[in-house]
Structure formats: C-alpha cells, structure tokens
Amino acid sequence: MATNVIMPKLGMTMTEGTIIKWHKKVGDAIEEGMPLFDVETDKLTNTVNANVSGTLLKISVPEDGTADCLAVVAVIGSEGEKLEAEPAPAAAAEPAAPQTESGNDLIVIGGGPGGYVAAIRGAQLGMKVTLIEADAVGGTCLNRGCMPTKALLHSAEVYELATHSAGIGIVANDVSVDWNAVQNARAGVTKKLTDGVKALIKANKITLISGKASFADPKTVSVGGRILTAGKIIIASGSAPIVPPIKGISECGAVIDSTACLQLDHVPESLLVIGGGVIGLELGSVYARFGSKVTVVEMSPKLLPLMDSELTAMVRRQLETKGMEILTESKVVSVENCGAGGRVHIECPNGERTVEAEKILLCVGRKPNIEGLGLVKAGVKTERGYIQVNDRMETSVPGIYAVGDCNGKLMLAHAAMAMGETAAENAAGGSKTFIAAYSPSCAYIGPELAGVGYTEEQLKEKGVDYKVGRFVTAANGRSLVSGHVDGMVKIIAGEKYGEILGVHIMAPSATELIEEAALAIRLEATVDELVDTIHCHPTVSEALREAALAVDGRAIHPFRCFPNFPGGCVRFVHSLTPR
C-alpha cells in the first residue's frame, strides 16, 4: 500500500519548507533511512530520510517548490502500484477581476544590486517588502556583467601567469586552455552568487515576484495579472545596452553584445571592440590574454573618458605593448558580413581604415531601462531618459524612489547598492543622502585602475588651486616582487590646506586600495593625516602614503630612473593665483 511522504515540521516556528533538492527520481528504488530530499527553511537546511522502503511513485512538490508542514510532497509504494486517480478539475469559472493585494510597506521594482539591497535594508528596518524582478535575481551585475566578467578575467590572469613566469623561475610547459572548464567556472560563480541572493531574500522574509512591473498610480503596481499597493516604492530597473545607428550593425552576424561575449563557445581568432569604456576594455583584455587579436575603436581622444587622463594614457601604452591595437578619435561608419566574420569600416584621424574580425563586440554605453514602467501614470518625471531624483533618491513624486543605473547618477553596481540603502532608509522614515563624489570608480583591465574624487581636468574647469603627488609602483617593493612596475599612484590635494581632493591609482589591487582614499575624502582628510597613518610593509598600499609625501616633495623612496618621470616622484602645483 502506498505511503505518503509529508513535509516534516522541523521546528516550533516552522510553517512551510522549500525542497531544494530531490536525491531520487520517480521510479527509483527507496530504502528506509536513505536521503530522500533536502528541505530549506528561513533558519536551516535539513536532509529528510525515507521512512519506508519501496519505489518512489510520485513527486508532488518539485525542486524549488514550497509546501506547508504536513503537506504531501511525494508517494512511496510497491513497484507498478497504481495510485488513486486524482479528482477531475472543476469546470473553469469565469476569470475574476484581480484583487488588489495590500499590506506591503515597500515594493521594490528590480532585483539587481540596487534593488535587492534596498529590499533587504527595508526588511531589516521592519518593513513588509515585496521585490519584483522581470528576469533573474542579481540583475546585470551578477548574471551578465561584473561578476561573470571577473570570473573570465581571473582565468585569463592565471593563464597569463602560467605562460609568463619563466623570469621568476616558474617554467610551465604545454599550458593549454580548457575553454569549456573556463565557461563552467564562470557559470558556477554566477549560480553561487545568485543562489546566495535568493537565500538572503528568503531569510529576510521578502516576497519575491517574477514578472515585469508597471505603475497604475503612484502607490499601485501591476505585475503578471496581480495588483499590489504599498506606501513606498523603489524603482531599481537598471539599464540596457545602447545600439548606435551604425549602418549594417543589425544585419552583421559577427556583431555581439557583452552578454554574448561572455558566453562564446570558443576563443575567437580576432575581436574588434566598438567602445573604449570599461566594459569593452575589460572583455577585450580577457580575450587578448587568451590569444585573440584585439582592436579597440573609441570616438573620444582617450580611453576610459571619465577617468584620469594621465593614468588612462599609461593604460593605453600597456595594452598596446601587450598587442592590442587602440584607435582613438575614430568612428565606425559601417559593418558588413565577410568570410572572416565581419568587416568594419572606420573613420580615423589619418583616413579611413577597414578591419576584419571574427567577432565584433558592441559596447558603446548603456541607457536606463524604464520602458513599460508606466512612469507617466505615477507622475514620475524623467530627464534625457533618466529618472530625476534628489540626493535622498526620491523622485518628483513623494514616496517613490529610484536607484542605480535608471537615475543616471553613477552607473556602477557599488553605487547602486549605496543608493538602495539610502532609498530604503528614507522610505522607512530616515534622512540619509547619497553623495556621488564619495563613490570610487574602477576598471579591471590588466593593470587595475581606480579613482575617487576630482581629476585634474575637473579642478581646472572649476578654477581650483591644487597640487599633485605621484609615486610609481617601480619604487614599491611589493609591486616589484609581483612584477607590476609600470603603475602609479596619484594624489591631488588643495594647495592651501592640503585636503585630499582626488586619488587615482593604477597598480596591483588598485580596486582594493581605493577604499582608503574614498574614506579619506569622505572624512575631509589632509595629506598630512594620510602620511601619519602607518601602512604595513611590504604592501602596495605604501605607494599611497609615498604619493601623499610626494605632494609636498618629500617622498622617502623616489624612483629617479623611471623613464616617464625623469624627476622621480613629481610634485606639481597648479595655481590660478599670482605668487
């Protein structure tokens, strides 16, 4: 006789459980005591063992399905045993009009870094939160942006080290790339991170709804036939790639976006990148390390247009030294199919060029993803496609907030997270502001590059007197050990008081070092205060302190033979006032 398998009640407060894994499938032989399924609650994960022997005849609750305690989740019986037929469903009734689901304190639209962080912070503050995601939890960053790119980059860095370490006595013969394993590692990182976010959402008792949300009015949202209301709503809808009006771009089969570039089934022989921003250079440097011939086309006079010009010029030299071709002040005018993949016609300063490549990566920027949100019905104002917000992340409509790429303040995942926390705290009655100047920017290109605060160009435009200290990594012991001797740390400080106005780093782990600089700017620290902070030896961080010393011409370890800086650790003063 068949025996029902029920969802066990594993604790006093447990009311339901989610089956995250079945160890057996229908038709498998079951022995009493063997693991049958894993169940997850908001507090623990347990393996449930079979309490009878027999054959697994039916699974009623699939993986990722939730069941109330004591509900039937499976049936075990004798092989070939017929189960009682389930009653036929009743005749379909006329569909009822959807009822409004009230009771939410906060609705968050978008489950990327800005959205899921806002949802979690709102829940921490005691709000009843519903999170709506149209695609995959984790957004662009975790699924097809920051994290999968860094996974590929790590594989590329390890390969480069394995093939370029003979100078320090490490000789590796016949090193090869298992591309399927590289891609599996990338996918594995994404799954672990997105599963982790889902667990956090569940642990914080946030209701997760899959679907595309649209405003019906300032406090009402519809999604998949459901209507929800909340006192506060946070928009975190992210961004989408821009597709420029280049002739032939849609017809050429070789053209790919960054998502497709992450998932290629092989390393292309050649890759032409349209766009010299962070995304294009990161992916270009990945494939260049794996052996692709990479060409980058950028319309602006320099790469990474928003970052420090002096350091981006150094980045360009290093990338060119590694074999990448960089074409700045150049414009792609048309693209067409050819035997090699795609043929690209480019207007360059010295005339037109034609470049053929197996793949053409299009990444010229991103635009806010607000189509279909019904912002007009909510009364939310936009400007140039971006949702307008104040420094509290509140839109033109009180109680509606917008964070991350959709507001255009800073299109960076870490900035979106900070905005999400700001919006959630204000939605809960707080008074918190987001200050973009305190948020660092970064690029993982080979030499890591990071910056926070003002650049020299920005200070010149503002008419601010400043002084600069530079320290090259060739004079830093830890950088010398690792072979990264072609970087620099640059500190810009106010001429009169020495307050730190900007820090720009191209060095090993630059993205880890920049947080100290961001904190210094946030606390309005001076170069003297940074100098008085003792740094561990030997570390790359010592270069930050030496650059602070160099602001006033007193670096302890100047490197006077560095070819691009014949004066050693250069002190530079830019003043608009007569001396």
Q: For 499, which DSSP code?
A: B
DSSP 82: P
Is residue 131 within 8 Å of residue 207, measured between CB atoms? yes
Q: Are strands 441-444 and 448-453 parallel, antiparallel or unpaired?
A: antiparallel
CA angle 260, 512, 188 (to 5 degrees): 35
Q: State the Cα–Cα distance between residues 466 and 459, nearest whole angstrom.
A: 8
User: Catalytic annotation on 557?
Assistant: no
95 SS3 class: coil
Beta carbons of 373 and 213 less than 8 angstroms apart: yes
CA distance 164 to 143: 31
What does the alpha-carbon distance between residue 137 and residue 126 come to, in Å, rounded to a whole number? 22
Characterize the bridge pairing of strands 220-223 and 226-235: antiparallel
DSSP 247: B
Task: Dump the DSSP string for 409-451.
Answer: S---HHHHHHHHHHHHHHHTT------GGG--EEEESSSEEEE
Residue whose C-alpha is closest to residue 86's, from 58, 64, 50, 55: 58
Q: What would the DSSP string read from start to end of 526-568? A: BHHHHHTS---SS-TTHHHHHHHHHTTT--SS--TT-TT-TTS
Q: Name the residue among 567, 538, 537, 536 with its Cα closest to residue 472.
A: 567
Of 401, 381, 406, the residue nearest 391 (C-alpha): 401
Report the alpha-carbon distance of residue 108 to residue 221 in Å, rounded. 10
> And the tokens for 373?
């949100």
Q: Say if CB 341 and CB 357 are below 8 A apart.
A: yes
Token pair for residue 239? 């961004």
Q: How far apart are CA 105 and CA 232, in angstroms?
A: 6
SS3 129: strand
Contacts of 342 (CB under 8 A, 6+ apart): 252, 253, 254, 255, 272, 335, 336, 356, 357, 358, 359, 360
Q: CA 75, CA 227: separation in Å to the nearest integer? A: 36
Q: How far apart are CA 2 and CA 339, in angstroms?
A: 63
Asked if 262 contacts 384 with a C-beta cutoff of 8 angstroms, the reply is no
Catalytic choice (266, 537, 557, 574): 537
Indicate the burial class of 167 (C-beta count within 10 angstroms; 0-12, 13-18, 19 or more).
exposed
Signed CA dihedral, 428, 430, 436, 441: sign only: negative
Name the residues annotated as catalytic. 537
